[in-house]
Structure 1
Amino acid sequence: MRTTTALALGALAFGAAAFEAQALPATPAPLPPAMQTTQVARGCGPGWTRDAWGRCVPIRRAAPTRCWWEWTPWGRRRVCRW
């Protein structure tokens, strides 16, 4: 039992010593200001985005509701103004 425990502890110590842990890797050198911008190929520009087919479309804002419920002589109906 002592031999098995000693072998297990020895193997654990050898494995821990052989394993090189890097808890805090060295940081890379800072980039020059010209390299800090990322150029995007085929960008749409400000206020635009790509749709499901890859076309540039304007970013939609919340549009006012065009349909509402209103009482008519025939009861309550949905009225839409396009």
Structure 2
Amino acid sequence: MKILVASAFAICLSLAAVSGSRAMPLAPLDQAASVDIIRVAGGCGPGWHRGPYGGCRPMYNCPPGWHSGPFGRRCFRNW
């Protein structure tokens, strides 16, 4: 009988906690975008990109007819 009362109490307590929580209230759909937000590609900022392991790396732009090397620090001629 003690186990039945304890489990019923635990179930009622958990249901009361779930129904009263407001961890993420719904936002209105007609909300305009904020003007103080700056969009950047990949979260690294202008002139940077995400590397193979998720870190931010600088972008090296090679001229036409050239390509970047294995680590992107040198330009090599296309053959």
TM-score strictly above 0.5 = no
Larger Rg: 1
Shorter-normalised TM range: 0.3 to 0.5
Higher strand share: 1
TM-score for the superposition, normalised by structure 2: 0.35
TM-score with structure 1 setting the length: 0.35
